[in-house]
Amino acid sequence: GENVEQHPSTLSVQEGDSAVIKCTYSDSASNYFPWYKQELGKGPQLIIDIRSNVGEKKDQRIAVTLNKTAKHFSLHITETQPEDSAVYFCAASKGDDKIIFGKGTRLHILP
Amino acid sequence: DSGVTQTPKHLITATGQRVTLRCSPRSGDLSVYWYQQSLDQGLQFLIQYYNGEERAKGNILERFSAQQFPDLHSELNLSSLELGDSALYFCASSVSAVMGALANEQFFGPGTRLTVL
């Protein structure tokens, strides 16, 4: 079955700098790649997603890139702010509603 | 607020006991998903129901079962509880794509924290 690997598990960046989280997936049939943000005490919330027919998608300070050949996708957060501190999960799906999540990256924004 | 509700928020029980977690999906969503989140395992998919029928199974133990009722709310039953079952249990809902179509966004509830003593 599908396996999603996520790195790093913890990331600390200075406020205003950029943060990058990387994921790889195993099933070449996967075609939907969402990213979720989980704040303390809350459930995960979708922040951006990308489908396999595009290579990049951007929403304000957040962007996601997808390399289908390498089975690799990444989340980029620019101009980081304190409220970006959270756990981020990447995920992959074959379009059958079942979504497989990575183990998460704890992002710390340092003042 | 995602529109997905889960009760109770916290649950403390003893080993060997049985508990029921409840989830109400967003209005109009037909699919409900259950996930287990423990400290070192991230989000583990347990099971999905679509319009009352089981749709997909993940790493769900035989001691665990779920169902979705005609009003689309869902319950996750955990029995013969063990210390290792202590975790956050999340419910998510989505409109749900027709089989084979692209996956839809899942909206997560606030979770139920289960502590087994």
Nearest CA in chain A to B33: A98
How confident is the model over B97-106, as a mean pLDDT? 65
For residue A84, which phi and psi values (nearest 5 degrees)? -80, -10
Cα B110 from Cα B89, distance rounded (Å): 9
Nearest CA in chain A to B95: A97
Tell me if chain A has a CB within 8 Å of the CB of B31: yes
- Chain A residue numbers touching B26 (CB-CB < 8 A): none
Instruction: Say whether pLDDT at B101 is over 60.
Output: no
Annotate chain A with three-state secondary structure: CCCEEEECCEEEEECCCCEEEEEEECCCCCCEEEEEEECCCCCCEEEEEEECCCCEEEECCEEEEEECCCCEEEEEECCCCHHHCEEEEEEEECCCCCEEECCCEEEEEEC
pLDDT number for residue A26:
95
What percentage of chain B reaches a pLDDT higher than 70? 92
pLDDT number for residue B102:
61
Nearest CA in chain A to B38: A103
pLDDT number for residue B59:
83
Cβ contacts from A onto B, under 8 A: 72
Tell me if chain B has a CB within 8 Å of the CB of A27: no
CB pair distance less than 8 Å for B99 and A104: no
Instruction: Say whether pLDDT at B25 is over 80.
Output: yes
At residue B98 the predicted structure's pLDDT band, cuts being 50, 70 and 90, is low
CB pair distance less than 8 Å for B104 and A51: no
Nearest CA in chain B to A34: B105
CB pair distance less than 8 Å for A43 and B2: yes
Each of the 111 residues of chain A gets a pLDDT tens digit; together they read 789 999 999 999 999 999 999 999 999 999 999 999 999 889 999 999 998 888 999 999 999 999 999 999 999 999 999 999 999 999 998 877 788 999 999 999 999
**Distance (Å) from the alpha carbon of B16 to chain A's nearest alpha carbon:** 27
pLDDT number for residue B68:
97
At residue B103 the predicted structure's pLDDT band, cuts being 50, 70 and 90, is low
Give residue-wise pLDDT tens across range A25-57: 999 999 999 999 999 889 999 999 998 888 999
- Closest residue to A32, CB basis, from B35, B99, B103: B103
At residue B97 the predicted structure's pLDDT band, cuts being 50, 70 and 90, is low
Instruction: Say whether pLDDT at B42 is over 90.
Output: no
What tokens appear for B55 in the block?
């749709």
Q: Is the peptide bond before B8 cis (omega within 30 degrees of 0)?
A: yes
**Distance (Å) from the alpha carbon of A105 to chain B's nearest alpha carbon:** 10
- Chain B residue numbers touching A2 (CB-CB < 8 A): none
Instruction: Say whether pLDDT at B43 is over 80.
Output: yes
